[in-house]
A and B are shown apart, each in its own frame.
Chain A
């Protein structure tokens, strides 16, 4: 949402306070307002500089050095592109982490969105009780990112966990899924999908905006339920799908907590849960390889920027805005 409807603060409607200020005389109020603007903005501006901009530049610089936290700044060595070279040519675990992260996002995000849309369609009727269901489905989104829930999840998919006792009801003997390199990441995907409630709520809001007349017109034309879904619901919902897709993908790339808890901070078993951010954390804060970790952070930032840009440039072909305005 924030992406697509960023309002333009410079646009002024009629009767805005600019017109008013001019009425009051040559720029007097405007000057004091300009000053006041920066007074009110100053905490944010200081934060932008000190917490965001300067650290970003610092990390860009560090990415060309071999900085570890132990050597004083004066002895930091400039290593040129060595960190980036190592990343792209000589660090198999880096590429492994990229693969783990992409696998996670490519599988978990579509399934989560499909679950969210499916349940939203089930709920999208005006009947009593919707509010209760909506609230219950949303609850995992509030709890799911916590360490506590990750702990529960890991135990649930452990040898004696609830999942295996469920399987045993069907006569299937399970295994300690979280200790199996082939399955550990899958359990994290299930945890992500379990939190389908947040995108579901957004889908529900979108579904309510679809005019009923469109369905009526479609059914007059003889369209069945499936065709109505394909030709009315999906196009009308495409801006919301787009919004959820961008958001969940970016969130999916940043998964950290559950992977940390499952592997006790190592990315195991056998690096199968080595998410990008976990790899970055281990490099920077366990191995104290902060120069290299900075390079990883910058590549991560660029990758997210590129992926967002790809979403937006392809969105033109499938996102349909009913008001004809290219928001």
Chain B
């Protein structure tokens, strides 16, 4: 079975000699892998290349890269709409960062209760939490929209509340589960020692669990940032004013204006919008790939 907890050490790989017998020719395998890399990266390189092509080259030059690098698409795209893309980026960054904080805080509290504290109906609540893991967000969007609208929070003074309130209430069950699994790996002897020193449940949380849960918090932070940054469905439903738009919603405005002249700027802004995720990937590659073993939930 796949390892579930981030604490589990990577399984030891077999010594190369033992495996060599059943491996194919290494050169052939390498060639196949390089070919797959080319297919996988082609759309990304084409995206960056096109974003740097002039309008004329986009139509005439079918090659991967531009003959002459023209950064003009970036400035044109940045101010393509009445509201600058800088605003959209700020909105997206704010929503994503607040989501990171909300998820980290609320999921950590819930996970501590599930992993360490003994209270009535704990088993039942835990089962309910696992049940919500597979609940598609599309199922709840209509009633949530109605509720938030009834409360006057949709298109209100600060229209991001419907996006953020759920994140501060630990509704991302996946992160709760991830943290519960992590906390199970924290030795209980530490709790006992703190308890003997007179610490109660709050003290144990503050002095033992919180500091030791940092790796799980970092994983949660990275994934909630990327998922929120890329999320489109909820932001599309809840944001209606142009100046409130986040990057994904703003990008769809380019599709409405189907004129050929918008392709360059549209690609330029698409590249920019993927840049934060790409930087996260470069910085935390190992962690992300290892984290996926627990995060297949969303892929």
Interface residues of A (CB under 8 A from B): 1-10, 15-18, 20-21, 29-30, 32-38, 40-41, 43-48, 50-52, 54-56, 58-59, 62, 69, 119, 122-123, 125-127, 131, 133-143, 145-149, 151-153, 155-156, 160, 162, 165, 168, 194-195, 197-199, 201-202, 205-206, 208-209, 212, 215-216, 219, 225, 228, 239-240, 243-244, 247-248, 250-251, 253-254, 256-257, 260-261, 264-265, 277, 280-281, 284-285, 290, 293-294, 297-298, 300-301, 304, 308, 321, 327
Contact = CB atoms under 8 A, between A and B. Distances in A.
Specify which of A54, A142, A261, A281 lies most central, judged by the most chain B CB atoms within 10 Å of its CB.
Answer: A142
Interface in B12-33: 13-16, 18-19, 21-23, 26, 29, 32-33
How many chain B residues sit at the interface, stated as a range, is 35 or more
Nearest to A133: B33
Contacts of A43: 105-106, 109-110, 168-170
A290 B297 CA distance: 28
A202 B296 contact: yes
B188 A16 contact: yes
Contacts, number: 358
A204 to B, nearest CB: 9
Given A1-B294, A50-B169, A9 B122 contact: yes
A126 B128 CA distance: 41
A264 B142 contact: no
A316 B191 CA distance: 40
Given A148-B248, A290-B142, A126 B15 contact: yes
Given A37-B117, A123-B33, A125-B23, A151 B266 contact: yes
Contacts of A32: 200-201
Contacts of B36: 119, 137
B interface secondary structure, majority: helix
Interface of B: 1-4, 10-11, 13-16, 18-19, 21-23, 26, 29, 32-33, 36-37, 40-44, 46-47, 50, 58-59, 62-64, 105-107, 109-110, 112-120, 122-123, 125-130, 132-136, 138-147, 149, 165-166, 168-171, 174, 176-177, 180-181, 184, 188, 191-192, 195, 200-202, 205, 226, 229-230, 232-233, 236-237, 247-249, 251-252, 254-256, 263, 266-267, 269-271, 273-274, 277-278, 280-281, 285-286, 288-289, 292-294, 296-299
Contacts of A139: 40, 44, 278, 281
Contact of B230 (A47, A54, A145, A260): A145
